[in-house]
Chains A and B, each alone.
Chain A
Amino acid sequence: MKKQKTTGREEKPWVRRLLIGISVVFFLIMLVFPLVEVLYRSLKDGLALYVEAITAKNTLSALRVTLIATVTAVAVNTFFGLCAAWLLTKFEFKGKQVLSALIDIPFSISPVIAGLAYIMTFGRMGWATPAIDWLNEVLGTDISLVFSVPGVVLATIFVTFPFVSRELIPVLQAQGSSEEEAAAMMGAKGFTIWRRVTFPHIRWALLYGIILCAARAIGEFGAVYAVSKARGKTFTLPLEIDALYMAGSADSITQAFAVSSLLVLLAVVMLILKQIVEHRGKREQ
């Protein structure tokens, strides 16, 4: 008889080695090589061209739009995510299942469709346009929701809105409501309960959701592509990269990689933040 394993769950060594091998090869081919390629290509023609590429007027404009869209999307979605998660976990009402499913729509719908839907709604032919025109007239403003920065922001919000609430819902569900009830029994009011009891519990999940939301907002292409057509004005970094690459000259391709490296850098920062937050969150559990 063979020697009995202690847990009965330990795999044979070759199984483990094979799995590690598959993972490493997959990881290298799919992730590491392409990213290294981006960095290599971006610096291939010298640092001068790299600096020129990332300080070009169009690039800076794209960076600005990207940051505006990301910050706004994160702010809006954090607020909305908190409200939605709170509503879905602490209250019972009709249509709860439907609302819960609706929140996930951006996960399942192609972002391009989201962008096109915005054009259909807010574009020149869209049914919401008269209302916006009227608003502009009354307020003396010139807001336009498609082919403009607000449009980019809206599209970004759309594709990133599930992130925060999806991170919070399981945490709030696991917590239940008895701690809050306990606080209420002792006379604590809504905001005190939120600040002293609920928030400490969800803060890491919230931060984690914000990071995921920001990462997705920075990288969003499809939805933004549909509503943004003016390079140097409403382009975000991913769109700018695409434009540079599509220009097709040797220089512009190198520039495309240079700008890409900027995005990769942002992604790495996000990744590190995410790791830190995950780690801290786990340690506190």
Chain B
Amino acid sequence: MYVEMKHINKSFGDYQAARDISFGVEQGKLVALLGPSGSGKTTILRMIAGLEHQDSGDVVIEGKVVNDIPAGERGIGFVFQNYALFRYMTVYENIAFGLKVQKKPKEQIHKRVMELVQLVGLEGLEKRYPDQLSGGQRQRVAFARALAPNPQLLLLDEPFAAIDAKVRKELRSWLKEMIAKVGITSIFVTHDQEEAVEVADEIIIINEGSLEQMGAPTEIYKKPKTSFVAQFIGTSSVLEDFSGFKGFEDAPKGRQAILRPEFVEAFKSDNEKFKSLISAAEEGVIREIAFRGSYLTLTLEVNGILLTANRSLERRPVSVGEKMCVLVYRAYILEEEDAHIYKNRMLEGVDVEAL
């Protein structure tokens, strides 16, 4: 493990930002700390950086406990949420700052700065001041500045929050590419699951100061371990009691269930493709149809419970009030803090994924 957090606790007055947090990040990985706002993810990042000090526990970098090493000596590059570029310095001076502090010879500084300017594609803008740059350009400067002193670890706090939605997607892939190119171990904080899923190799989900789950994006998506993760990841609706549904008779009674739209299939009773599965389906009525641009989201009432399902625009048109067959492939049933997958028993032996 390159970076390790061992039983970290931290509180600010009554607010507990980290509760016994432990995790490790392997060298070269790009990891996302994902959680809702106020979950403590930024505090965790700042503790790794040394900008915040944990109440108890150890921060280990490269096998060395760095608890007492000041931020500036941990060999970490940090990209701040609003970039925190030095506004009275030019792009060049911003990138050169860390090297100047280290009293590197002038030619060496110049060489390194120009190398970075080229890497992030800011040639010709060296003499600009931060307020003369666009949001995306500022992010590039912040990135180059953090990398200038050759850190072994890069930390980014909400790196895309200050950028408008249109450019954000573009920058995500840019940043991912850059980090891969430089080959630096990186941890970034985000509240946007789409961002985490798209950019990170691994995701750490934080809620109320506790680590909920750590794993690859697909693993977290497919196998949420806790009820929080099941609800937080993906679009999900919470159902109060699910045990009455066909195929879920053996699910524990009186438990909440989480359903994602992709777990639900709605088809007309004369559908050819789903003909063999019609016995496993419940009957439902369309209550609402929302147009999502490239697909429809149907709200269906089944046994007095409202479910949502997505429907491709390529399929036959449907209308509100229409009767549909509703097939539920699987659901997450919540038990206390944990989430368990229950598959529709009536579909046993059917290759659902081949449908």
Q: Which A positions have Cβ atoms within 8 angstroms of B?
A: 176, 178-179, 181-189, 192, 196-197, 200-201, 284
Contacts and interface: CB of A to CB of B under 8 A. Distances in A.
18 contacts: A178-B81, A181-B71, A182-B84, A182-B86, A183-B101, A185-B51, A185-B72, A186-B97, A186-B98, A186-B101, A186-B148, A187-B72, A187-B149, A188-B72, A196-B89, A200-B88, A201-B87, A201-B88
A178 B77 CA distance: 14
B78 to A, nearest CB: 5
Contact of B101 (A192, A200, A284): A192
B73 A182 contact: no
Query: 9 closest A-B pairs (Cβ-Cβ)?
Result: A186-B98, A187-B72, A178-B84, A200-B88, A182-B84, A185-B78, A188-B101, A178-B80, A179-B84
B76 interface: yes
Given A183-B86, A201-B88, A188 B97 contact: yes
Interface string B50-76: 010000000000000000001111001
B73 A179 contact: no
Nearest to B80: A178
Nearest to B46: A181
A93 to B, nearest CB: 13
A197 B84 CA distance: 11
Given A185-B49, A185-B51, A179 B78 contact: no
A227 to B, nearest CB: 43
Nearest to A175: B87
A183 B72 CA distance: 8
Contact of A185 (B71, B89, B102): B71
Contacts of A284: 88
Contacts of A188: 72, 97, 101
A284 B89 CA distance: 12
Contacts, number: 61
B82 interface: yes
Interface of B: 49, 51, 70-73, 76-78, 80-82, 84-89, 97-98, 101-102, 145-146, 148-149
A284 B76 CA distance: 32
Give the dominant DSSP class at A's interface: helix
A178 B76 CA distance: 16
Residue of B85, B89, B101, B146 with most partner-chain A CB within 10 A: B101
Given A186-B148, A187-B102, A196-B89, 4 more contacts: A181-B84, A183-B86, A187-B101, A189-B72
Contact of A183 (B73, B88, B97, B102): B97
Contacts of A192: 101
Contacts of B70: 184
Nearest to A186: B98
Contacts of A179: 84-87
Given A186-B97, A187-B149, A188-B97, A197 B49 contact: no
Nearest to A203: B88
Nearest to B76: A185
Nearest to B79: A182
Contacts of B89: 196
A197 to B, nearest CB: 6
A176 B86 CA distance: 12
A181 B102 CA distance: 16
A192 B102 CA distance: 12
A182 B82 CA distance: 11
A115 B101 CA distance: 49
A185 B86 contact: no
A78 B148 CA distance: 36
A201 B86 CA distance: 9
Contacts of A182: 78, 80, 84-86, 145
Contacts of B76: 185
Residue of A178, A183, A200 with most partner-chain B CB within 10 A: A178
B71 A184 contact: yes
A157 to B, nearest CB: 31
B86 A196 contact: yes
Nearest to B72: A187
B98 A187 contact: yes
Nearest to B73: A187
B79 to A, nearest CB: 9
Contacts of B88: 200-201, 284
Nearest to B81: A178
B46 to A, nearest CB: 9
Contacts of A186: 72, 97-98, 101, 145, 148-149
Contacts of B49: 185
B267 to A, nearest CB: 53
Contacts of B78: 181-182, 185
Contact of B80 (A181, A187, A200, A201): A181
A194 B184 CA distance: 30
Contacts of A189: 72
Nearest to A284: B88
A189 B89 CA distance: 18
Residue of A178, A185, A187, A197 with most partner-chain B CB within 10 A: A185
A126 B96 CA distance: 58
A173 to B, nearest CB: 15
